[in-house]
């Protein structure tokens, strides 16, 4: 099979060099014509670089953060060209003249992530003609580079941890080892299966998916462009679901070769001996526990005085205790000032803490400092769409409607609550309103799941938020150490905490840190959403022996005392 060099051809406005912003594929991946492999950015513009080959990537020659010149070889792909080049001079001109088409739709959705694809399916089921424009992969960040891949790796780490502690269960496991390449392959297999499932659902519901970069020309027109196609969509309504991108830390050295993002962290087949994670939020702490269980010496440098600051202090303290037990070193209240390099290229973090400068070194640095809404090149100004007051996301009302009536925005691009399940629900709300079904978003009962070890889940008001609001509250807590099912798993760490508003006698908040926390939170979300009292949970029979019994005991604790703990 012929080997083809994929090069960086002409840049916008005749630029000479560009920075590799993102690498979407890896060695061994199969590609189709029009698949985007690289995103590059120069001082004069940005472009997605797609292949015109049907085949397999033999070698990736560059990494995210690299600066490359025009005509540099980016990758080697074995396969056959499906589009022959002409004598043009620009990147898109270098291909056969793009095929042009004009389509019409009731709803055009820009972005096929958990907000976009859910909205598309819901709209199609209600009878709308739907087109989805997606520049990368269906499923978005959540499915391809976030929620699902990380949880696949978390599960592998849990299995490894169980093998290491087999003796506690009377079992004998010797010569325990792991193959990181097989772990990554398993993760990729799960992602591929789910993406394939979404593609099937798109086809089943007759939703047309256009691979390309979407741009709003006017409130009734969306233009989508790829290397081989230009599509003009005349549409009655538009839903913007472009998501977010990893925030970039504005410190010197952030582009050093041994500094990676969460996307790259999901592809590591050769683990470093020592890793520094900048950011102790949800993403940072999930990776910290994950790689610590694979034997990596992990340090977390967090700007705030505590990690996972959205949680209550008792949950934060329990999580910090669990981190210490895994050998994770936490540097809280630490401001990163620079990322230096040793003579052999290893990174050194310079941070300020308590007025003093500190240095720690590692083999690899992972930057996990949050995400920012993606609106670049979308054309929101031309469409009359306003941003939020902080200018960090698209402004919407409770119906998910922007300041342009027939354009809606959902998910991370609105900069409300950046969670996949929130984006999905916002998509349903937006579609309902488009289709004449009155619907509004209610953020009072949004569960959050943090996949540390053990898990953390929260919903409703935290204790500190309830106190800040001046509410008269009652709290009930119950430890996992008194739950029979948890003990059979060898998992006694953690607790549940329920919060009741004394004035209304309704549950207003809950926190769980412990075994199955992220699954158990659904019952409490239902309770808070429907204004239930602790008595409603107490009067509900919970199966024995299950971890769900901690919810029953927590409700009892709110109302005077748990049965199985004094």
Residue 449, classed as helix, strand or coil, is strand
**Residues facing residue 235 across a β-bridge:** 105
Phi, psi of 305 (to 5 degrees): -75, -15
Contact indicator for 168, 469 with CB cutoff of 8 Å: no
Residue 120, both tokens:
């598309």
Residue 419, classed as helix, strand or coil, is coil
| Close Cβ partners of 503 (under 8 Å, ≥ 6 residues apart) | 471, 472
Q: At what angle do helices 420-434 and 116-125 cross, to 10 degrees?
A: 30
Return the residue matching tokens 């001109």.
93
Contact indicator for 422, 416 with CB cutoff of 8 Å: yes
Between the alpha carbon of residue 116 and those of residues 129, 388, 408, 428, 473, the distances in Å are 14, 21, 11, 10, 39
Catalytic residue among 421, 544, 552, 564: 544
Between the alpha carbon of residue 46 and those of residues 33, 65, 92, 224, 263, the distances in Å are 20, 14, 13, 16, 20
Q: What does the alpha-carbon distance between residue 244 and residue 252 come to, in Å, rounded to a whole number? A: 23
Pairing of strands 335-341, 221-225: unpaired
Query: Whats the size of the chain, residue-wise?
Result: 566
Contact indicator for 349, 336 with CB cutoff of 8 Å: yes
Residue 225, both tokens:
């462009």
CA 232 to chain centroid: 30
Residue 505, both tokens:
């006698």
DSSP state at residue 466: H
Known catalytic residue at 544: yes
Q: What does the alpha-carbon distance between residue 287 and residue 97 come to, in Å, rounded to a whole number? A: 45
Contact indicator for 423, 239 with CB cutoff of 8 Å: no
CA dihedral 395, 398, 400, 405 (to 10 degrees): -80
Q: What does the alpha-carbon distance between residue 112 and residue 320 come to, in Å, rounded to a whole number? A: 36
Residue 94, both tokens:
């270098």
Burial class (CB in 10 A: 0-12, 13-18, 19+), 406: middle
Indicate which residues carry an active-site annotation. 544
């Amino acid at each position: 099979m012929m080997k083809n060099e994929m090069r960086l051809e002409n840049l916008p406005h005749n630029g000479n060099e560009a920075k590799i912003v993102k690498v979407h594929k890896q060695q061994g991946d199969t590609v189709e014509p029009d698949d985007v492999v690289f995103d590059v950015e120069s001082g004069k513009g940005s472009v997605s670089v797609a292949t015109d080959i049907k085949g397999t990537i033999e070698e990736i020659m560059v990494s995210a953060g690299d600066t490359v010149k025009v005509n540099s070889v980016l990758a080697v792909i074995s396969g056959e060209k499906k589009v022959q080049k002409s004598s043009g001079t620009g990147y898109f001109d270098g291909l056969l003249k793009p095929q042009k088409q004009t389509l019409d739709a009731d709803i055009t959705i820009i972005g096929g992530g958990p907000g976009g694809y859910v909205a598309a399916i819901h709209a199609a089921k209600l009878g709308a003609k739907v087109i989805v424009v997606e520049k990368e992969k269906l499923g978005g960040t959540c499915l391809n580079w976030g929620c699902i891949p990380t949880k696949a790796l978390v599960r592998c780490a849990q299995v490894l941890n169980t093998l290491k502690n087999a003796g506690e269960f009377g079992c004998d496991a010797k010569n325990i080892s792991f193959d990181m390449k097989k772990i990554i392959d398993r993760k990729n297999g799960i992602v591929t299966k789910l993406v394939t499932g979404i593609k099937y659902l798109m086809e089943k519901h007759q939703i047309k998916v256009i691979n390309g970069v979407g741009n709003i020309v006017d409130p009734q027109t969306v233009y989508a462009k790829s290397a081989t196609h230009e599509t003009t969509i005349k549409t009655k309504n538009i839903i913007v679901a472009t998501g977010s991108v990893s925030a970039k830390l504005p410190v010197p050295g952030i582009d050093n070769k041994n500094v990676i993002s969460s996307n790259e962290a999901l592809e590591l087949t050769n683990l470093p001996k020592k890793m520094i994670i900048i950011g102790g939020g949800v993403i940072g702490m999930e990776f910290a526990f994950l790689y610590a269980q694979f034997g990596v010496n992990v340090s977390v440098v967090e700007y705030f005085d505590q990690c996972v600051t959205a949680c209550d202090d008792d949950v934060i303290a329990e999580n910090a205790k669990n981190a210490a037990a895994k050998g994770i070193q936490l540097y809280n209240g630490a401001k990163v000032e620079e990322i230096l390099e040793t003579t052999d290229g290893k990174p050194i973090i310079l941070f300020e803490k308590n007025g003093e400068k500190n240095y720690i070194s590692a083999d690899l640095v992972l930057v996990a400092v949050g995400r920012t809404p993606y609106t670049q090149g979308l054309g929101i100004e031309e469409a009359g769409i306003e941003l939020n007051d902080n200018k960090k996301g698209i402004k919407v009302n409770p119906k998910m409607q922007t300041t342009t009536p027939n354009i809606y925005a959902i998910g991370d691009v609105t900069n409300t609550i950046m969670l996949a399940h929130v984006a999905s629900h916002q998509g349903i709300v937006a579609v309902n309103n488009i289709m004449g079904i009155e619907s509004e978003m209610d953020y009072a009962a949004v569960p959050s799941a943090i996949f540390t070890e053990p898990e953390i889940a929260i919903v409703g008001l935290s204790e500190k938020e309830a106190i800040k609001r001046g509410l008269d509250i009652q709290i009930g807590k119950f430890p996992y150490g008194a739950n029979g099912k948890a003990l059979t798993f060898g998992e006694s760490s953690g607790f549940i905490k329920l919060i009741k508003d004394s004035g209304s006698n309704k549950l207003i908040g809950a926190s769980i840190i412990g075994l199955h926390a992220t699954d158990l939170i659904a019952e409490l979300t239902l309770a808070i959403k429907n204004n239930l009292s602790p008595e409603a949970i107490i009067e509900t029979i919970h199966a024995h022996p299950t971890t769900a019994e901690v919810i029953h005991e927590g409700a009892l604790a709110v109302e005077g005392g748990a049965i199985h703990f004094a």
